[in-house]
Structure 1
Amino acid sequence: MSGPNILLTRIDNRLVHGQVGVTWVNHLGANLLVVANDKVSEDEVQQNLMDMVLPDTIQARYFSIQKTIDIIHKASPRQKIFLVVKDVQDALRLKKGGVPIDVLNVGNMHYEEGKKQISSTVSVDDQDIADFKELDSLGVKLDLRKVPNDRGQNLLDLL
């Protein structure tokens, strides 16, 4: 049995928003968007806002991190999954929980007090860096890229 057909996993602290929702979905040819986020999985207003920006050709599911871990392996191979998480901590929880994340696209991680900006869209603190290094040690390729046409950079080169 092959695992779930996850085309790409992306970190975006805004999760799904207009440009990204559409650009990445079209680029990947995804037909199922899974937003793995504990808060959003319980917030129908947020879910409806995200549904509104997505093309009709894609279904969206909003799962907690644990539910994603529990059910992702039940996905059918026909489901071409674009998995979106809010931060590196959730990505690491998924990976350690057995979700087959091979490539992690690092899109948006906003600047906050105590974080160091490493690209125009990504800022990290010590915990983020430690978690990215752990993902790297687990064999995950870290691809820093805002939109598909950008030239991807290995995030570790910027830390």
Structure 2
Amino acid sequence: MIVKIRIDDRLLHGQVAYSWKSALSYDAIVIASDDAANDEIRKVALKLCCPDGVKLAIRSIKDAATLLKNPKLASMKVFVVCPNPKSVYDLLQLIEERATVNLGGMQMEPNKILFSPAVYVNKEDIEYLDKIVESGIVLEVQEVPSKSVKEYKSLRNKVDFSK
């Protein structure tokens, strides 16, 4: 059972691994990222961040979807982490299970604007976030569990890429 899907371009780090572990009591983490799945050095680094006793799988979007549909995971609390909104959207197209999506960390890059603390977005990110919301998925903006949840739509209304 997916307990939450998080968008965080750093994927797995102390903040994700430990603060969300306390909040969600997950048994497994599935990182759904085509780039990470094909980078052996990054996989080693990500494995070092995984809390003791938690199973970790680093898969491409397609392979993550296959894994998440495996009946063996139905009895486990699974925390899914994706690097960006497009990856989440693509994953959601391949699975039936629906879970809250948490927008928590996207670093500043060229052509990105500040959306909320620790979250910078570009036009494509907003387009995919909008598609996720339009599909009926709950989208919360929250850096860590100890911070209050911000409503996506109110933050979204302040974003204008037409300028």
TM-score (norm 2): 0.89
Equivalent residue number for residue 11 of structure 2? 15
Equivalent residue number for residue 144 of structure 1? 141
What is the alpha-carbon distance in structure 2 between the residues aligned to residue 100 and residue 157 of structure 1? Answer: 26
Quote how far apart the aligned CAs of 1:78 are.
2.2
Unpaired stretches in structure 1, ≥5 consecutive residues: none
CA 107–63 in structure 1, closer or farther in 2 if over 3 Å, else same? same
Is contact 1:69-1:99 (8 Å) kept? no
What is the alpha-carbon distance in structure 2 between the residues aligned to residue 111 and residue 41 of structure 1? Answer: 23
Equivalent residue number for residue 124 of structure 1? 121
Quote how far apart the aligned CAs of 1:72 are.
1.2
What is the alpha-carbon distance in structure 2 between the residues aligned to residue 49 and residue 75 of structure 1? Answer: 28
What is the alpha-carbon distance in structure 2 between the residues aligned to residue 121 and residue 75 of structure 1? Answer: 35
Q: How does 1:1-159 map to 2 (within 5 A)?
A: 5-76=1-72, 77-159=74-156
CA RMSD of aligned residues (A): 1.3
Is contact 2:69-2:95 (8 Å) kept? no
What is the alpha-carbon distance in structure 2 between the residues aligned to residue 127 and residue 27 of structure 1? Answer: 30
Quote how far apart the aligned CAs of 1:126 are.
1.3
What is the alpha-carbon distance in structure 2 between the residues aligned to residue 81 and residue 111 of structure 1? Answer: 28
CA deviations 1:19-47 (Å, max 9, x no partner) are 22111122211011000011211223212
Unpaired stretches in structure 2, ≥5 consecutive residues: 157-163
Counterpart of 1:30, as a letter, is Y
What is the alpha-carbon distance in structure 2 between the residues aligned to residue 101 and residue 88 of structure 1? Answer: 15
Quote how far apart the aligned CAs of 1:16 are.
0.2
Q: Paired residues, what number?
A: 155
Is contact 1:72-1:99 (8 Å) kept? no
What is the alpha-carbon distance in structure 2 between the residues aligned to residue 64 and residue 51 of structure 1? Answer: 16
Quote how far apart the aligned CAs of 1:99 are.
4.7
Counting aligned pairs with the same residue, the percent is: 26
TM-score (norm 1): 0.91
What is the alpha-carbon distance in structure 1 between the residues aligned to residue 108 and residue 57 of structure 2? Answer: 28
